[in-house]
């Protein structure tokens, strides 16, 4: 099986914000994408957030699946976009690994975990490749790849071709939680969260300051809302476990997650979003 | 009657503030204790404005009108009638306090006093003044004519009326004000620290190069410049000084700890573009 045969589907598993961001990019090249969502409440439920739809109905080429085994059948390649606790990540990866056809590589998001650790949970670690995923993905020109010691050369090459077919270039980086981009961006977001928690400034002023004072492409807090508050929280927690306490997420993250302030797709994160139908 | 602003300190920031103020229609007293420093700054402002006119951004009339509105002097006394005085001298607490002590005595209590200090507490600068309520931070960004942001900093003694007046003034100067509490690094210098510190840690972790990290941040993250290019541009010593200042002010919280790579480069004169060599080499 050619894993990058455009006629063979890709399976994407993860939370709404990241999974649909990636699914749109893949579907935009004409390749079929199946998305298995792990959000709660499930987007299969009535009143699900509008991120799962495009205006006028479901997205061409993107199919939401409610059963991971069925979704994995026939998939040529799988992307695990999920960032959660180590236990959650392990459970999801193993649930994906079992039904996924043997030749299909698993590209796993390393925001909060190293590729070597993720690979250790799979029956065939050789098919696991670490990737970076920091939304928004559409305009990103370069994607990170990380090889674990057992990652086979053909798996790494398949991951490279996957990104190149999506119009991206690839940079191979060392295997560590956060890789390069997430480590730096999530740390900036964390510092912005501390500033907010300490009452230094309003969320709007923090974001304006970073855009106009040092030319960031977007404010850290609106960026967190776009990535998903849970992704950032678990990414930082994973980095803290592996790399040290300086990455420990600001307490504001846990408070927001408890309150359902999960980001733009939920209608509220660090900011409040008027036009998004969110679960509240 | 034309509105008068005082600007104290004719270095890069003071000159930039004087330039945007004059362009915004204010009469400006540009004051520097060093003889002829303010005059030299005025020449620089004139040539900046001429360059803008040559690019069609300003009319020649606007240029000569703006230059004509700036008066260079060594005497603080000439600020007596100003509606606001913006201080942009060297980052030294005692120096700033002595300047504000003079201005406090010299000007009417209604005169707004603002400091461009970036790594000092506005509250500390205001200590001991008879009228501390009228002192706020107005933190501009380099280069002042190009960077739209101003952080309006409320010290513990700053009155809300003064904060509002400073915010309005910033808008009249064509800037976008944000409001910050008087805390180390305010917003930008604090929240930006990981952009540099994490890049340095990644570099010393090994396995990725300066070029790769910069490329991922630019082409993966959408930042206009990668962290190492930016440190070379700002000046590795300047960037380190900000990091050291924020680190000390946060009681050496580990996440703010400056990196040995940067300390070593600053100590050995590898300061970036200005010395021809930093993380990159420059011809």
Check whether the bond before B10 is cis (ω within 30° of 0). no
* Contact across the interface for A215 and B225, Cβ inside 8 Å: yes
Q: How many CA atoms lie within 13 A of A13 on its CB side?
A: 28
A246 touches chain B (CB under 8 A): yes
Residue of B nearest to A182 (CA): B221
Residue A58: per-residue pLDDT: 54
Contacts of A212 in chain B (CB under 8 A): 141, 147-149, 176
What pLDDT digit, counting tens, does each position of B85-144 carry? 999 999 999 999 999 999 999 999 999 999 999 999 999 999 999 999 999 999 999 999
The Cα A173–Cα B209 span in angstroms is 9
Which residues, other chains included, contact B248 with Cβ-Cβ below 8 Å and sequence gap of 6+? Answer: none
Angstroms from B121 CA to nearest CA on chain A: 13
Are the Cβ atoms of B192 and A208 closer than 8 angstroms?
A: no
pLDDT for residue A251: 98
* Digit-coded pLDDT (tens) for B186-242: 999 999 999 999 999 999 999 999 999 999 999 999 999 999 999 999 999 999 999
pLDDT for res A87: 97
Sort out which chain A residues have CB atoms less than 8 A from B186's CB and list them: 200
Per DSSP (E only), the strands in chain A are 10-14, 33-37, 62-64, 77-80, 106-109, 128-131, 142-146, 169-172
**Does A53 score more than 80 pLDDT?**
no
Identify whether the C-beta of residue B242 lies closer than 8 Å to the C-beta of residue B189.
yes
Distance CA A18, CA A14 (A): 7
Question: Chain B: nearest CA to A210, how far in angstroms?
Answer: 6
Q: Between A45 and A20, name the one with better pLDDT.
A: A20
Specify whether the CB–CB gap between B197 and B243 falls below 8 A. Answer: yes
Task: Measure the CA–CA gap between B28 and B7, rounded to whole angstroms.
Answer: 7
Minimal Cβ distance to A184: which of B178, B183, B198 = B198
Residue A237: pLDDT above 60? yes
B62 and A CB contact within 8 Å: no
**From B158, B162, B189, B239, active-site residue:** B189
> Following DSSP, what letter does each residue of A207-233 receive, concatenated?
HHHHHHHH--SS-HHHHHHHH-HHHHH
Alpha-carbon Rg for chain B, nearest whole angstrom, is 20
Residues of chain B contacting A141 with CB distance shorter than 8 Å:
219-220
Minimal C-alpha gap between A102 and chain B (Å)? 31
Q: Which is nearest to A187 in space by CA: A247, A240, A254?
A: A247
From A180, A212, A246, residue closest to B149, measured CB to CB: A212
- Using one digit for the tens of pLDDT, what is the confidence trace for B166-175? 999 999 999 9
Radius of gyration of chain A (CA): 18
* Averaged pLDDT, A227-235: 97
Question: What's the rounded mean pLDDT across residues B155-184?
Answer: 98
Candidates B188, B197, B217, B220, partner chain A, best to mutate (most A CBs within 10 A): B220
Cα–Cα distance for residue pair A238/A111, rounded to 1 Å = 8
pLDDT of A47 reads 47
Looking at residues A72-101, what average pLDDT do you find? 97
Residue B114: closest CA among B100, B95, B101? B100
Alpha carbon separation from A95 to A68, A111, A155, B62 (Å, rounded): 8, 20, 20, 69
Task: Tell me whether residue B139 is one of the annotated catalytic residues.
Answer: yes
Q: Supply the pLDDT for residue A43.
A: 55
Annotation marks residue B245 as catalytic: no
Q: Stretch B143-158: mean pLDDT, rounded?
A: 97
In this predicted structure, the answer to whether residue A182 has a pLDDT above a threshold of 70 is: yes
Quick check: is B208 catalytic?
A: no
- Tens of pLDDT, residue by residue over B56-98, are 999 999 999 999 999 999 999 999 999 999 999 999 999 999 9
- Nearest neighbour of B216 by CB, restricted to A181, A195, A202: A181
**Is-catalytic flag, B151?**
yes
Q: How many CB pairs under 8 A join A and B?
A: 139
Lowest mean pLDDT among A1-15, A95-109, A128-142: A1-15
Alpha-carbon distance of A104 to A128, in angstroms, equals: 9
Q: How far is CA B85 from CA A126, A162, B7, B160, B264, in A?
A: 67, 59, 6, 18, 39
- Report how far residue B167's alpha carbon sits from residue A196's, in angstroms, rounded to the nearest whole number: 20
Q: Which of B191, B216, B255 sits opposite A192 (nearest CB)?
A: B191
Which entry of B21, B116, B118, B158 is annotated as an active-site residue?
Answer: B118
* Model confidence, pTM: 0.95
Q: Residue A277: pLDDT above 60?
A: no
Mean per-residue pLDDT of chain A: 92
Q: Of the candidates B81, B159, B83, which has an alpha carbon nearest to the alpha carbon of residue B126? A: B159
- Residues A125-148 have a mean pLDDT of 98
CB nearest to B217's CB, from A184, A198, A246? A184
Least confident of A27-36, A235-244, B172-181, B262-271: A27-36
Residues A110-132: tens digit of each pLDDT: 999 999 999 999 999 999 999 99
ipTM: 0.97
Task: Provide the pLDDT confidence category of residue A1 given band limits of 50, 70 and 90.
Answer: confident
pLDDT band for A276, please (50, 70, 90 cuts): low
């Amino acid at each position: 099986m050619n894993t990058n045969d455009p006629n063979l589907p890709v399976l994407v598993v993860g939370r709404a914000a990241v999974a649909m961001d990636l699914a749109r990019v893949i579907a935009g090249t004409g390749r079929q994408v199946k998305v298995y969502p792990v959000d709660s409440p499930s987007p299969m439920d009535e009143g699900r957030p509008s991120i799962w739809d495009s205006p006028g109905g479901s997205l061409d080429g993107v199919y939401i699946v409610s059963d991971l085994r069925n979704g994995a059948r026939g998939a040529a390649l799988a992307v695990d976009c999920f960032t959660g606790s180590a236990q959650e990540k392990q459970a999801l990866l193993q649930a994906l690994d079992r039904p996924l056809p043997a030749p299909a590589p698993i590209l796993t998001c390393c925001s909060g975990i190293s590729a070597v650790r993720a690979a250790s949970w799979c029956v065939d670690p050789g098919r696991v490749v670490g990737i970076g995923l920091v939304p928004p993905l559409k305009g990103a020109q370069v994607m990170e790849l990380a090889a674990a010691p057992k990652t086979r050369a053909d798996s790494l090459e398949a991951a490279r071709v996957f990104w190149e077919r999506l119009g991206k270039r690839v940079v191979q980086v060392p295997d560590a939680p956060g890789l390069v981009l997430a480590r730096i961006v999530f740390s900036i977001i964390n510092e912005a969260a501390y500033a907010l928690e300490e009452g230094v400034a309003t969320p709007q002023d923090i974001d304006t300051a970073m855009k106009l004072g040092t030319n960031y492409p977007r404010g850290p807090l609106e960026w967190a809302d776009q990535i998903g508050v849970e992704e950032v929280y678990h990414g930082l927690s994973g980095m803290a476990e592996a790399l040290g306490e300086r990455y420990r997420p600001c307490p504001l993250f846990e408070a927001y997650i408890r309150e359902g302030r999960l980001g733009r797709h939920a209608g509220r994160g660090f900011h409040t979003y008027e036009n998004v139908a969110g679960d509240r | 009657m034309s509105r008068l602003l005082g600007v104290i300190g004719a270095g890069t920031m003071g000159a930039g503030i004087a330039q945007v103020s004059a362009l915004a229609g204010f009469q400006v007293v540009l004051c520097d204790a060093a003889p002829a420093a303010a005059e030299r700054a005025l020449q620089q402002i004139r040539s900046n404005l001429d360059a803008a006119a040559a690019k069609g951004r300003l009319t020649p009339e606007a240029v000569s009108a703006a230059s004509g509105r700036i008066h260079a002097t060594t005497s603080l006394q000439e600020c007596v009638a100003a509606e606001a005085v913006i201080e942009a001298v060297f980052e030294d607490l005692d120096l700033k306090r002595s300047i504000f002590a003079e201005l406090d005595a010299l000007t009417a209590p209604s005169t707004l006093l603002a400091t461009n200090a970036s790594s000092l507490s506005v509250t500390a600068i205001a200590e001991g003044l008879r009228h501390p309520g009228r002192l706020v931070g107005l933190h501009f960004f380099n280069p002042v004519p190009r960077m739209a942001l101003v952080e309006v900093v409320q010290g513990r003694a700053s009155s809300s009326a003064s904060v509002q007046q400073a915010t309005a003034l910033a808008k009249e100067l064509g800037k976008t004000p944000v409001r910050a509490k008087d805390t180390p690094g305010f917003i930008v210098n604090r929240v930006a620290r990981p952009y540099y510190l994490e890049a340095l840690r990644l570099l010393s972790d090994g396995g990725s190069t300066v070029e790769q990290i910069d490329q991922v941040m630019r082409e993966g993250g959408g930042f206009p410049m990668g962290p190492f290019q930016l440190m070379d541009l700002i000046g590795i010593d300047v960037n380190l000084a900000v990091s050291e200042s924020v680190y000390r002010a946060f009681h050496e919280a580990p996440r703010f700890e400056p990196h040995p790579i940067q300390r070593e480069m600053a100590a050995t004169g590898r300061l970036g573009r200005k010395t021809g060599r930093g993380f990159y080499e420059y011809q």
